[in-house]
């Protein structure tokens, strides 16, 4: 159980990190869009969007994993 | 904590090479409140099992099967039973049996009492949490 709880803690930490990075990337994207207005052709915008997409994919997998690995509904503690 | 209850025939089966507790397929059997196991049950057919529809695998992994200073320890890895696709029939007792031997077929080992009837609803889980040993032999 200790190993399981350690893994869940690590996954939650990574989840928080990803949320923070996503916020920063989105702020950068919005700033770039406001600055250039050339959304579709601007390589920086394309790069930022790709980075956000990749991050979202990792976060989705993590969310799913954490949901599945959440605490058991019931426990039978066998002596 | 749920106490380990021994089926009496188990000790004779150990002595008469029915079990290989390191490599055999050790499995959980669930019974309802009205069908409590008793110590004189000896094989799986003696138990009235619930329907396992919507329940995940009931096969345990043996973590430890070894002696140290003459004391044999048998420990099963924790097993999570999960309801998937719907609820699972209510049960109260978790029995452990050996699914490998054919004579006698499916000999019983021991059982635990959850304490009350339990219905696992869809996606709910029951963690069978073993501590330091499932049983020891001295």
pLDDT tens track for B99-138: 999 999 999 999 999 999 999 998 889 999 998 888 888 8
- Please name the residue of chain A whose CA is at the shortest distance from the CA of residue B93: A76
A42 pLDDT tier (thresholds 50, 70, 90) = confident
* CB neighbours of residue A9 within 10 Å: 10
- Please name the residue of chain A whose CA is at the shortest distance from the CA of residue B110: A78
Q: Average of pLDDT values for B66-82?
A: 92
Q: For residue B12, what is the enclosing H or E element?
A: helix B9-15
CA angle B22, B88, B35 (to 5 degrees): 70
Helix/strand/coil (H/E/C) assignment for every residue in A21-73: HHHHHHHHHHHHHHHHCCCCCCHHHHHHHHHHHHHHHHHHHHHHHHHHCCCCC
pLDDT in tens, B80-93: 999 988 999 999 99
What residues contact residue B1 under an 8 Å CB cut-off, 6+ apart?
A77, A78, A79
CA angle A52, A54, A59 (to 5 degrees): 90
Residues 37-96 of chain B with CB under 8 A from chain A are 78, 80, 94
Q: Average of pLDDT values for A16-23?
A: 84
Query: Which of B28, B54, B128 has the alpha carbon at shortest distance from A76?
Result: B128
Q: Which residues of A fall within a CB distance of 8 Å from B56?
A: none
ipTM of the complex: 0.88
Distance CA B20, CA B65 (A): 10
Q: Average of pLDDT values for B74-78?
A: 92
- Please name the residue of chain A whose CA is at the shortest distance from the CA of residue B132: A79
Q: Is the peptide bond before B111 cis (omega within 30 degrees of 0)?
A: no
Q: Is B126 in CB contact (< 8 Å) with chain A?
A: yes
pTM reported for the whole predicted model: 0.70
Min distance B134 CA to chain A CA atoms (Å): 7
**Are A72 and B125 in contact (CB < 8 Å)?**
yes
């Amino acid at each position: 159980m200790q190993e399981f709880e350690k893994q869940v803690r690590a996954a939650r930490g990574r989840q928080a990190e990803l949320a923070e990075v996503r916020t920063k990337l989105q702020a950068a994207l919005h700033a770039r869009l406001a600055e250039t207005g050339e959304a579709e052709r601007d390589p920086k915008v394309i790069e930022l969007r790709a980075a956000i997409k990749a991050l979202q994919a990792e976060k989705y997998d993590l969310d799913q994993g954490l949901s599945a690995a959440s605490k058991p509904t019931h426990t039978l503690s066998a002596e | 904590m749920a106490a380990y209850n021994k089926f009496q025939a188990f000790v004779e089966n150990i002595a008469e090479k029915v079990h290989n507790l390191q490599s055999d397929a050790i499995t959980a059997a669930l019974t309802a409140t009205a069908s409590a196991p008793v110590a004189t049950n000896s094989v799986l057919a003696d138990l009235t099992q619930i329907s396992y529809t919507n329940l995940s695998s009931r096969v345990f992994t043996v973590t430890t099967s070894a002696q140290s200073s003459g004391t044999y320890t048998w420990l099963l890895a924790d097993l999570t039973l999960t309801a998937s696709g719907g609820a699972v029939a209510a049960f109260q007792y978790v029995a452990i049996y050996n699914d490998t031997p054919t004579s006698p077929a499916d000999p019983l080992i021991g059982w635990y009492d959850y304490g009350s009837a339990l219905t696992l609803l869809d996606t709910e889980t029951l963690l069978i949490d073993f501590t330091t040993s499932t049983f020891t032999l001295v």
